[in-house]
Structure 1
Amino acid sequence: MPTPTHQLELPALYGSSPLGFLAALGTLHLTTHLLDEAPRLSWSGPDAPAVLHTHQPFTHQALARLLATQLPTQPDKDPLAVAPGILDQPRHPEPGSPNDPLQMPIDEALTQLRRHAEAERDHDDNRAHWFTSLINTLSLTPGKSDKSALPKNKSAIHGTLYTRTTPYFGRSGQMTLPNNWTKAAQHCLKDPTHLHAALIRWQRVDDYAGANLDHLSTGDAHMVSHGKATQQGVPGATWLALHGFTAFRLTGNTNRPQATSWDTTNHAFTWPIWHQPHTTTTLATLLEHPDTRNHTPNPTRLHNLGITALYTAPRTRLPYGDGPLEPGHPIPMQPGRLRNSKPTATHRTTLKQEAG
């Protein structure tokens, strides 16, 4: 694969911010879908912006226009244009079913997954990948009526079991993954400058909640000029970040869900920043490497992987559900070993071998 020759720094997408990091991943995945030659992603350094590497030159305006081609024409009907038919699910009518339509009975989910997998084999369709990055068919939860009706000493295994969704989406109140995707897309369609702003300087919108990926979207009264608490989300960055969810593989066993880069013990998102440019394929290998999830990171091993920093952002809690992710906190490592370090041949060999 030829090496990209053009670089575009994305000043608003800082690696130390969970929303910025996810939006950079979404940008990489969307441009991979749109360009003939695979783009790559790297970072200017720890606590620094993302850099998109492409085979053709882009300005921020041109990149924003390219990304905008993936906005849905009717977001209220199907908000995921890159993989139609995933987010337009109706809520299951059975009493006690979850509010989010992506939490569907397991039999229905497996039927859909088989259909998407067959389309992937026969027609190189991408919907199986999107389905499994948003809907976890390997870890199940009982419906509300199943929980309340069961005696304390009985298992819920005999009731209707529903799929879980990606832990990267924090659900509060009546929020669902499809309606969050819809609202972000609607804002970007109404004002096309949101995608350009997502790349260079975030544009916050009053009364837009985002998808619980950004702690500043909570809009405390002391943070706004009119002195009243209000939601202040970033529609463009949120829309890109939702597409970044496809970078994280969902696994688990019945009642213990797992996801790449998600710490189920602390309910925290933990992610690396790297120097060497990565495609979506090699990035998947890097994100799933055991050393990126180590609570006591080994600086030498991380250096050999080209990693320059590790961050973590726990999920906050609200009285009515999940809260936004906290700001990214750097995970302490041995001083002077990683900052501004460059990758070695060991890093390139390691990732090549692990990617197969």
Structure 2
Amino acid sequence: MPMPTHQLELPALYGSSPLGFLAALGTLHLTTHLLDEAPRLSWRGPDAPAVLHTHQRLTHETLAGLLATQLPTQPDKDPLSVAPGILDQPRHLEPGSPNDPLQMPIDEALTRLRDHAKAERDHDDNRAHWFTSLINTLSLTPGKSDKDGTPKNKGAARGTLYTRTTPYFGRSGRMTLPNNWTKASQHCLEDPAHLYAALTRWRRVDDYAGANLDYLSTGDAHMVSHGKATQQGVPGATWLALHGFTAFRLTGNTNRPQATSWDPATHAFTWPIWHQPHTTNSLTTLLEHPEIRTRTPRPTRLRNLGVTALYTAPRTHLPYGDGPLEPGRRIDVAAQEVRNPQPTATLQKGG
């Protein structure tokens, strides 16, 4: 496949920001779905914007217009137009079931997954990929219990287990993945300029919480003109970032969920920045490379992979649930290598 000849810098999507990074991945995945030839993604460098490489010339206006074609027509009914039928599930009504409808009984989840997988084999349907990017059938959680630990329904007493969702979505209060997708979509439908702004210069919206991907969306009182604490999310960037979730594979072992680029011990998102343009397929290989996922990465091997920087952002916590991801912090790889030197071979004298 020939390399793309056109480059479009996306000045608002900085690789050092978790929301900016995820929004760049979402842009790559959506344009892959829209263009005849696969686009690629790279970065100008550490603490620098993303660059989209395409075979046809795009401007920020034409790219925003292309992305807008993937907005749902009725987000309150099904907010994920690229994979209809994934996010339109009703909440399970039995007592003790989780609030998020994507946390479904494992038997139901496996039935849905089999149907999606068959559609993928028979008709090149993409819903199996999206299903497994958002719903983890390999790590389960029990239903809700009363304060004394008694299951709220007889099904829970018999051991009903529910799927988990991607850890990239931080759940606070009664937030669910579908309703966050719906709210971001509604803002972008009401004002299509949000998508152009997502690529060029973010526009924050009062009383919009986002999806806990952006620490600045918490809107402390000193950050706003009226002096009152309020949520100030970025709808366009959030909508793109939600589509970026599909880049991360969900795995697990019963009660121990795992996800690409996510550290379950520290509840932190860790990601690379690279200079060689990647398609969605080659990007998956890079994100899952052992040298990216190790806690003691080595500079030489990272350079060989085309990686120019690594960043991390732990998730904050609130009294009523998950909080937003912290601002991205660059990992000092060289210092880590000094603290964790690799063993060297020594010559042994013969006896």
TM-score per shorter chain, which class?
A: over 0.9
Question: 2:53 and 2:246 mapped to 1: Cα distance?
Answer: 20
Aligned partners of 1:14 and 1:48 also within 8 Å: yes
Q: CA deviation at 1:78?
A: 0.1
Matched letter for residue 272 of structure 2 = P
Aligned partners of 1:133 and 1:247 also within 8 Å: yes
Matched letter for residue 137 of structure 1 = T
Q: Which sections of structure 2, spanning at least 5 residues, go unmatched? A: 338-351
In the TM superposition, 1:1-356 aligns within 5 A as: 1-145=1-145, 148-149=149-150, 158-334=158-334
Question: 1:158 and 1:18 mapped to 2: Cα distance?
Answer: 40
Matched letter for residue 227 of structure 1 = G
Matched letter for residue 212 of structure 1 = N
Question: 1:158 and 1:2 mapped to 2: Cα distance?
Answer: 57
Matched letter for residue 164 of structure 1 = R
Relative distance call for 1:157 and 1:302 in structure 2 (3 A) is: farther
Q: CA deviation at 1:244?
A: 0.1
Question: 1:127 and 1:44 mapped to 2: Cα distance?
Answer: 33
Q: Could you give the per-residue CA deviations for residues 183-228 of structure 1, whole angstroms, max 9, x where no partner exists?
A: 0000000001000000000000000000000000000000001100
Q: CA deviation at 1:159?
A: 1.4
Question: 2:157 and 2:212 mapped to 1: Cα distance?
Answer: 31
Question: 1:89 and 1:127 mapped to 2: Cα distance?
Answer: 14
Query: 1:347 — aligned with what?
Result: none
Q: Could you give the per-residue CA deviations for residues 263-299 of structure 1, whole angstroms, max 9, x where no partner exists?
A: 0010000000000000000000000011112222200
Matched letter for residue 195 of structure 1 = L
Question: 1:158 and 1:214 mapped to 2: Cα distance?
Answer: 39
Matched letter for residue 94 of structure 2 = E
The residue matched to 1:334 in structure 2 has which SS? Answer: helix
Query: 1:153 — aligned with what?
Result: none
Question: 1:157 and 1:217 mapped to 2: Cα distance?
Answer: 40
Aligned partners of 1:314 and 1:326 also within 8 Å: yes
Identity %: 86
Aligned partners of 1:91 and 1:99 also within 8 Å: yes
Question: 1:187 and 1:206 mapped to 2: Cα distance?
Answer: 12
Aligned partners of 1:275 and 1:308 also within 8 Å: yes
Aligned partners of 1:95 and 1:145 also within 8 Å: no
Q: CA deviation at 1:230?
A: 0.3
Aligned partners of 1:309 and 1:330 also within 8 Å: yes
Question: 1:331 and 1:158 mapped to 2: Cα distance?
Answer: 46
Structure 1 stretches of 4+ moved >6 Å: none
Question: 1:334 and 1:246 mapped to 2: Cα distance?
Answer: 31
Q: CA deviation at 1:94?
A: 1.4
Aligned partners of 1:89 and 1:102 also within 8 Å: yes
Matched letter for residue 149 of structure 2 = S
The residue matched to 1:315 in structure 2 has which SS? Answer: strand
Question: 2:249 and 2:101 mapped to 1: Cα distance?
Answer: 20
Question: 1:160 and 1:166 mapped to 2: Cα distance?
Answer: 20
Matched letter for residue 237 of structure 2 = A
Over the residues paired in the alignment, what is the CA RMSD in angstroms? 1.4
Q: CA deviation at 1:149?
A: 2.0
Matched letter for residue 130 of structure 2 = W
Q: Could you give the per-residue CA deviations for residues 146-191 of structure 1, whole angstroms, max 9, x where no partner exists?
A: 99226xxxxx894110000000000000100000000000000000
Q: CA deviation at 1:14?
A: 0.1
Question: 1:145 and 1:135 mapped to 2: Cα distance?
Answer: 22
The residue matched to 1:222 in structure 2 has which SS? Answer: helix
Matched letter for residue 294 of structure 1 = T
Q: Could you give the per-residue CA deviations for residues 74-108 of structure 1, whole angstroms, max 9, x where no partner exists?
A: 00000000000000001112110000000000000
The residue matched to 1:31 in structure 2 has which SS? Answer: helix
Aligned partners of 1:173 and 1:321 also within 8 Å: yes
Q: CA deviation at 1:145?
A: 3.2
Q: TM-score, normalised on structure 2?
A: 0.93
The residue matched to 1:27 in structure 2 has which SS? Answer: helix
Q: Could you give the per-residue CA deviations for residues 218-245 of structure 1, whole angstroms, max 9, x where no partner exists?
A: 0000000110000000000000000000
The residue matched to 1:133 in structure 2 has which SS? Answer: helix
Give the structure with higher Rg (CA): 2
The residue matched to 1:37 in structure 2 has which SS? Answer: coil
Query: 1:341 — aligned with what?
Result: none
Query: 1:348 — aligned with what?
Result: none
Question: 1:114 and 1:18 mapped to 2: Cα distance?
Answer: 33
Question: 2:105 and 2:149 mapped to 1: Cα distance?
Answer: 18
Q: CA deviation at 1:334?
A: 2.3
